[in-house]
Amino acid sequence: MNKSSIVRERIFPPRSWEDLDNHFIKAIHNPWYTSLMIIQDEITYLTWEFFRNKGIRSVSLPVTTGSVTSPMGLGSDSLPVKVNLEGVETYLSDSMQFHLEYALRNHHKGVHYIMPSFRGEEADQRHLCQFYHSEAEIVGGLEDVIQLVNEYIDYLCKGLLKNIPDIIYQTAGTLKHVEAFILKDTRYPQITMEDAVMQLKNNPKYIKSHKEGFRTLTDEGEKELIKLNGGIVWVTHHDYMSVPFYQAATLDYKYALNGDLLFGIGEVVGCGERNVTKEQVRKSMKLLKVDEKNYKWYLSMKELTPLQTSGFGMGIERFILWLTNHDDIRDCQLIPRFNGKLINP
C-alpha cells in the first residue's frame, strides 16, 4: 500500500435520507455515496473470492419464505415482514439460513450468499429496515464457524487496505482501525456471556434481565465490552432462552452454542451451531414456545438428513459503518428504504 497516494481530505455523509423526496438528487454526485458504492463492490468481490478459495459455493435463493428465522427467539428484538403475494400471505426473508442448511446437504464443503434481508422494526442509528446479509453454513461445530469468521474478517481487512486505502482514509479519517484487525494470531479475543456479565459487573445499564429468566446485552453493554477488550471481541454461550430454537445448546440447556462478534457499533456478526436431530429441534421449540406448524419441512429435513452444521450472518452495512468510522447506519445505503414509506427511485 502506498500511503503517499492517500487523499487526506475527509468526506462526510450529507444525511440526505432525512429528505426522502430529494435524496436521490443530492446523492447522485455526492462523494460519500460514490465512495460507498466502491466499498460495497470491494466487499462483495472479496467475499466471493474468500469463499471460492475455501471451496464454499455461492447459492441463489428466493427472498420470500414461510419460515422466518431471526425473530424466533424470546430475546430477539427483530420483527418479520409479512406480505400478501397474489392472495397468499408470506414473509420477506429476514435470513435464508434455513435454506442454506438445506443447500448444504447438496454440497458438504459449505454454502454462502450475499442477499437482502428485511426487518419489521423501525430504522435507527443501529438498524435498517432492509440490509444486505453475508451468510454461510458449513459442516462443523461452533469453533469451526468462529474460525471461519475470524479468517473472513481478516481477509476483508487485508483486501480493503490493499485495494482502496484512499477511500477508507477519506471516509474514516484513519486506517489504524482496519490495520488493528489484521490477525496477529489466529483468532480475535473470545469470552463467554458469563465472562461478559462479570466484566460488566452485572450493571443493569449493560445487562438486561428478562422476566422469562435470561439475560441479554444492551447496546451500551456491547459498546463497553468492545472498549474493555481492545476493539473487537467474541461473546459466546448466551443464555439459551435468548436465542432462536434452531441453535444447539449445552447438555443442560442453560447456554447456547452461539457467538456474536462485537466491533464498531456492536454486534456485526452472529453465529451458532445448529441442532442436529429432529428430537433436539422439537425440544428447543417446546422450551422457546415455538409453534411447529410452520417448520414441518425443517423437522423433516432434520429427520431425513441429520447433520452437524454451523453458520454465521454478517450485516454488510454494519461492517461498512465500522469501516468508515461512522455512527449512523442510515448513511450506509445508496438508496434508502424505511418501512411504511413509499420511496423513489
CATH code, domain carrying 35:
3.30.930.10
- pLDDT band per the 50, 70, 90 thresholds, residue 8: low
pLDDT at residue 1 above 60?
Answer: no
Q: What per-residue confidence (pLDDT) applies to 233?
A: 98
pLDDT at residue 72 above 70?
Answer: no
**Location of C-alpha cell 462478534:** 261
Nearest-Å Rg of the Cα atoms of the chain is: 20
Indicate whether 342 belongs to any domain.
Answer: no
57-58/111-118 β-pairing: parallel
Q: In terms of pLDDT, which residue wins out, 293 or 166?
A: 166
Q: What per-residue confidence (pLDDT) applies to 329?
A: 98
Q: What per-residue confidence (pLDDT) applies to 324?
A: 98
Q: Which residues of 71-81 are buried (b: 16+ CB within 10 A; e: fewer)?
A: bbbbbeebbbb
Residue 288 cell numbers, joined: 422457546
Indicate whether 345 belongs to any domain.
Answer: no
In this prediction, residues 172-185 reach a mean pLDDT of 96
Q: What per-residue confidence (pLDDT) applies to 199?
A: 98
Helix axis angle for 278-287 and 296-304, nearest 10°, is 150
Lowest mean pLDDT among 63-72, 119-128, 321-330: 63-72
Residue 220 cell numbers, joined: 451500551
Do residues 177 and 219 touch, judged by C-beta distance below 8 A? Answer: no
- pLDDT band per the 50, 70, 90 thresholds, residue 70: low
In this prediction, residues 179-192 reach a mean pLDDT of 95
Q: What per-residue confidence (pLDDT) applies to 4?
A: 45
Indicate whether 340 belongs to any domain.
Answer: no
pLDDT at residue 301 above 70?
Answer: yes
**Which residues touch 204 (CB under 8 Å, ≥6 apart)?**
none
Q: Could you give the CA distance from residue 33 to residue 141 in angstroms, rounded to a whole number?
A: 39
Lowest mean pLDDT among 193-207, 223-237, 279-293: 279-293
In this prediction, residues 233-242 reach a mean pLDDT of 97
Amino acid at 94: D
Smallest CA-to-CA distance from 321 within 268, 246, 247 is with 268
Can you point out the beta strands (E) in the chain? 57-58, 64-65, 81-85, 88-92, 111-118, 130-139, 190-192, 207-209, 215-217, 232-236, 258-263, 266-273, 309-315
Lowest mean pLDDT among 65-79, 92-106, 187-201, 274-288: 65-79
- The range of the structural domain enclosing residue 27 comes to 3-332
Q: Could you give the CA distance from residue 187 to residue 185 in angstroms, rounded to a whole number?
A: 6
Question: What is residue 216's three-state secondary structure?
Answer: strand
Q: What per-residue confidence (pLDDT) applies to 5?
A: 53
Count of beta carbons in the 10 Å neighbourhood of residue 51: 22
In this prediction, residues 317-334 reach a mean pLDDT of 98
Q: Could you give the CA distance from residue 166 to residue 144 in angstroms, rounded to a whole number?
A: 34
DSSP state of 182: S
Do residues 99 and 88 touch, judged by C-beta distance below 8 A? Answer: no
- pLDDT band per the 50, 70, 90 thresholds, residue 76: low
Indicate whether 344 belongs to any domain.
Answer: no
Smallest CA-to-CA distance from 95 within 230, 231, 256, 271 is with 271
Q: Which helix (H) or strand (E) holds 26?
A: helix 23-27
Q: Could you give the CA distance from residue 241 to residue 305 in angstroms, rounded to a whole number?
A: 26
Count of beta carbons in the 10 Å neighbourhood of residue 7: 11
pLDDT at residue 2 above 60?
Answer: no
Amino acid at 165: P
Indicate whether 220 belongs to any domain.
Answer: yes
| pTM, two decimal places | 0.95
Residue 177 cell numbers, joined: 482501525
Indicate whether 290 belongs to any domain.
Answer: yes
Do residues 213 and 241 touch, judged by C-beta distance below 8 A? Answer: yes
- pLDDT band per the 50, 70, 90 thresholds, residue 73: low
Count of beta carbons in the 10 Å neighbourhood of residue 314: 24
Indicate whether 184 belongs to any domain.
Answer: yes
Any alpha helices (H) in 111-253, and if so which ranges? 142-163, 165-172, 176-179, 193-199, 219-228
Strand partners, 115: 133
- pLDDT band per the 50, 70, 90 thresholds, residue 69: confident
DSSP state of 186: S
Q: What per-residue confidence (pLDDT) applies to 221?
A: 98
Q: Could you give the CA distance from residue 38 to residue 157 in angstroms, rounded to a whole number?
A: 15
Indicate whether 172 belongs to any domain.
Answer: yes
pLDDT at residue 6 above 90?
Answer: no
In this prediction, residues 144-164 reach a mean pLDDT of 98
Question: What is residue 44's three-state secondary structure?
Answer: helix
Give how many domains the chain has, as a whole number.
1
Q: What per-residue confidence (pLDDT) applies to 294?
A: 83
DSSP state of 126: S
